[in-house]
Amino acid sequence: MISRRQFLKHSARGLTLVAAGTYVPAFLARTARAATPDKDGNILVVIQLSGGNDGLNTVVPFADDLYYQARPSLGLAADATLKIDAHSGLHPAFAPLKAEFDAGHFSIVQNVGYPNPNRSHFKSMEIWHTGSPGLSQNRGWLGRYFDAQCSGVAPRERNGRIGVSFGKVMPQALRNDANVGLALDDPDTFQWNASGETLALAREQKAIFERINAPGGAASFDTLASLGGVGSEPAALDFLRHTALNAIGAGDDIRAILRKQKNEGPYPDSQLASQLGMISRLISGDFPARVYYASQGGFDTHANQPESHRRLLGDLSSSLSAFLKDLRQHRQHDRVIVMAFSEFGRRVAENGSTGTDHGAAAPVFLFGEKVKGGLHGPPPDLANLIDGDVRHTVDFRQVYTTLLEDWLRTPARGIFPERFEKISLI
């Protein structure tokens, strides 16, 4: 029996010929979108913890007196933590993830940051997204990965290389030149809506809409412009038609997959959980994206931290644990790695409002069947701080380089101008 994947590859090959004509019927274009050579490839899910997660109260260095001196009211007692070795314990709200740690599917990279830490949310987030502190860079590190994947690939074949982000705007990390990638808050809004008052008019309007947006030849904005356009038509028109068709097609594909696929097991009721639930369905439904992006906000705990931090970590760990179980049920677990990061950690010393201010280095978390579980690197050296913050011992681009090369199988050299030493994480 011919599998769905094989069928799609075949029809994709047939389509290149069809596409040379002036009009590709929408259903054929959609089939092409779903077909990519890398369908069974590895997948990276990024979770952004926005606002600056307090690393010290997430992975607690309970053996260090300096920790308790700096945090008389916020410090978590050793017995309150979920001990993972003789020095460190997880925040009790991480209980659902402790099982993953014990099974070796949860890896903690200690003290991740970069030189001359910036303590502005915006700037530091930009640095994590672009992977280039001190350089003006519009594209994100994952965007440059897409560009590397897409170079020399015709636009209509590029779709398998897209990333999908959940949120209103495309995170800078995914921003790329190849014009691939989707950002959707709610898949239901990702469509063109006819306005016709009667069903017949709405249908006619939709059909006409699809025809006026049907692409001619396959080309990108750049190559067409340099050729001076197709015939007498301005180049930009075709670029627009491609983009429209891609967006609508991908939106239709995503909605179809989300309708058909089911999540296994209960997810908590939160925005992050809902995003991860959709990501799991897209993965098990063979949507061809290699990168998914989700985010959780609220980590900027300047005041009354204990309650809010417990709630945030609780949401993170229960959502993530549900997601990982779901992937296992669908037998997709061995091709997914999750990375959770925050733009910075928080000040070692607590402030006067039972909170913490913006800090520097913090742990990065990786999850998945294929990660090397456990703690990587020593606990933060609280006797040797930089302006009151944890010094970094691992550059975040070492983590990125490891993920790019050992997981997404792409040389990091085209993505970062400098070479960063890999870490043994995968």
| Binding footprint of another protein on the chain (CB under 8 A) | 120, 122, 126, 136, 138, 168-170, 179, 181-184, 186, 188-206, 208-209, 211-213, 221, 225-226, 228, 232-241, 243-244, 246-248, 250-251, 303, 352-353
Nearer to another protein, 153 or 426 (CB): 153
Closest distance to another protein from the beta carbon of 44 (Å): 20
Spatial distance between the Cα atoms of 388 and 367, rounded to a whole number of angstroms: 30
Closest distance to another protein from the beta carbon of 101 (Å): 37
CA atoms within a 13 Å half-sphere pointing along the CA-CB vector of 237? 13
Closest distance to another protein from the beta carbon of 8 (Å): 21
Q: Phi/psi at 296 (nearest 5 deg)?
A: -135, 125
Nearer to another protein, 122 or 384 (CB): 122
Assign 363 to helix, strand or coil.
strand
Spatial distance between the Cα atoms of 34 and 320, rounded to a whole number of angstroms: 27
Closest distance to another protein from the beta carbon of 100 (Å): 33
Spatial distance between the Cα atoms of 260 and 196, rounded to a whole number of angstroms: 28
Spatial distance between the Cα atoms of 95 and 102, rounded to a whole number of angstroms: 11
Closest distance to another protein from the beta carbon of 243 (Å): 5
Closest distance to another protein from the beta carbon of 57 (Å): 22
Closest distance to another protein from the beta carbon of 21 (Å): 14
**Whether the Cβ atoms of residue 76 and residue 68 lie closer than 8 Å to each other:** no
Closest distance to another protein from the beta carbon of 99 (Å): 37
Nearer to another protein, 129 or 392 (CB): 129
Closest distance to another protein from the beta carbon of 356 (Å): 16
Nearer to another protein, 3 or 136 (CB): 136
Nearer to another protein, 7 or 192 (CB): 192
Nearer to another protein, 75 or 251 (CB): 251
The total of other beta-carbon atoms located within 10 Å of residue 420's CB is 18
Q: Phi/psi at 367 (nearest 5 deg)?
A: -130, 145
**Closest by CA position to 379, among listed 67, 99, 71:** 67
**Whether the Cβ atoms of residue 393 and residue 134 lie closer than 8 Å to each other:** no
**Closest by CA position to 106, among listed 96, 114, 116, 119:** 96
Spatial distance between the Cα atoms of 94 and 89, rounded to a whole number of angstroms: 10
Nearer to another protein, 39 or 121 (CB): 121
Nearer to another protein, 196 or 414 (CB): 196
Closest distance to another protein from the beta carbon of 331 (Å): 30
Closest distance to another protein from the beta carbon of 81 (Å): 30
Nearer to another protein, 3 or 195 (CB): 195
Spatial distance between the Cα atoms of 343 and 339, rounded to a whole number of angstroms: 13
Nearer to another protein, 170 or 412 (CB): 170
Output the DSSP codes for 2-31: --HHHHHHHHHHHHHHHTTSS---HHHHHH
275: amino acid identity, one letter: Q
111: CB partners within 8 A, 6+ apart: 361, 362, 363, 377, 378, 380, 390, 391, 392, 393, 394
Nearer to another protein, 213 or 321 (CB): 213
**Whether the Cβ atoms of residue 345 and residue 322 lie closer than 8 Å to each other:** no
**Closest by CA position to 400, among listed 380, 369, 423, 417:** 423
Helix (H) or strand (E) holding 184: strand 182-184
* Side-by-side strand order, sheet with 82-83: 59-61, 88-90, 82-83
